[in-house]
Structure 1
Amino acid sequence: MRTRDTNKENSIRKQAIEMVVKEGLDGFSMQKLAKAAGVSPATLYIYYKDRDDLINQIATEISLRLMESSLQGIHPKMSFADGMEIQWKNRLKFYMENMQEIEFVEQIRYSPLYETIRQVIRQKFGDVLGAFVMNAINRGELVPLPFEVYWAVAFAPLYQLIKFHSQGRSHANDEFTISTEMVDMTLKLVLKALKP
């Protein structure tokens, strides 16, 4: 049995992320990855069972790091406004530092492969986020909403600003760069919209 080589594994992971971001899932295969990474196809199977296992492992690891980063400094009993500000700053920082990895997860998000990742995230972080939201509702800081409506209002505006930034343009401007002032302005509007 061959031993795992961390450098080789990291190289394979990096190449897989680049390929999926550039070519999408449809064009991605273990054969192509092996060639691009400069390893034999057999080497890939030391680290991963198959293509889906490789994609799931990488996307799960990235998603867990995103959630851990997002919740850093969050306590379920803190005020809703303070908790949201911390989450927005944490999410923005993670996205800006890991753009390609986030694009990789976005490729997977709308495929059947994402279901496993969604379940892992819910299981690992659902209690913390749920308690934070319920405490805010009980204190009268947050209007009770279906989860999907809450999430769309609470985080979609941030993600849209990040998307404009990653594209380098918005619908109105040929050049766009996200700014702290813009993020703060958007967060204030979000907090206002979510108040009872």
Structure 2
Amino acid sequence: MRTRDEHKEQLVRQKALELIVHQGFEGFSMQKLAKAAEVSPATLYIYYKDKEDLITGIGIEIGKKFSENVLRDFDSNLPFAEGMRIQWRNRARYAIEHRLETEFFEQIRSSSFREKVMDSFVEDFKSSMGKFVHNAIAHKELNPMPLEVFWSVAYAPLYNLIRFHHEGRSMGGKPFVFSEELMYQTLALVLKALKP
């Protein structure tokens, strides 16, 4: 029986991320991965049972890493504006420093792997964020609203700034580079929109 090589396993994971982000799930195969990672197809099966196991495993690993990073220094009992500031800082840092993982996870969110991956880490995350939102409403720092409306107003502007940054341009092709100044300027408008 062949043993696991941690370095090779990380290489396989990295190449899988690159292939999936650039070619999508439909264009991804274990054969293509073996070729990209310069390993034999049999080597892949030391680490993963099959293509689904590989995608799910990587998705769960990234989901947990995202959750840990987003909740770093965050407490659901924080005042709303302070908690949102930490959330934006953490989300932006993770998305910019881990672009490939972020783009991979976006594909997971709209795929058949979504439930299996999200169920593996989302409970603690949902609990912490849910308590934060409920506290903010109870303290009259946030208007009550459906979750979808809250998320659209609270985080979509941040993810648009990150998207502009990754594309290197904003509206009309104007060059764009993400900055904390722009992020906090946008957050100030978001907080104003969300407050009673």
Give yes or no for TM over 0.5. yes
Amino acid at match of 1:62: I
| Deviation for aligned residue 1:187 | 0.2
**Residues 9-28 of structure 1 correspond to what in structure 2 (within 5 A)?**
9-28=9-28
What letter matches 2:98 in structure 1?
Answer: N
Q: Tell me the amino acid that sits aligned with residue 15 of structure 1.
A: K
Aligned to 1:51: 51
Measure the CA separation in 2 of the matches of 1:164 and 1:67.
23
Deviation at 1:188, TM superposition (A): 0.4
Instruction: State the match for 1:192 in structure 2.
Output: 192
Query: How many pairs were matched up?
Result: 196
Q: Which runs of 5+ in 2 are unaligned?
A: none
CA offset at residue 162 of structure 1? Answer: 0.2
RMSD value over aligned CA atoms?
1.2
Separation in structure 1 between the aligned mates of residue 110 and residue 187 of structure 2, nearest angstrom: 27
Q: Aligned with 1:172: secondary structure?
A: helix
Structure 1, unpaired ranges of 5+:
none
Distance, in Å, in 1 between the alignment partners of 2:36 and 2:122 is 34
Is the partner of 2:176 in helix, strand or coil? coil
Name segments (4+ residues, structure 1) moved above 4 Å: none
Residue 99 of structure 1 corresponds to: 99
Distance in 1 (alpha carbons) for counterparts of 2:31 and 2:78: 49
Amino acid at match of 1:31: Q
Counterparts of 2:16 and 2:146 in 1: how far apart (Å)? 36
Q: Deviations over 1:17-40 (max 9, x none)?
A: 111112111110011101111111
> For residue 136 of structure 1, what is the aligned residue in structure 2?
136
- Give the corresponding residue for 2:41: 41
TM-score (norm: length of structure 1): 0.95
Report the identity percentage.
Answer: 52
TM-score (norm 2): 0.95
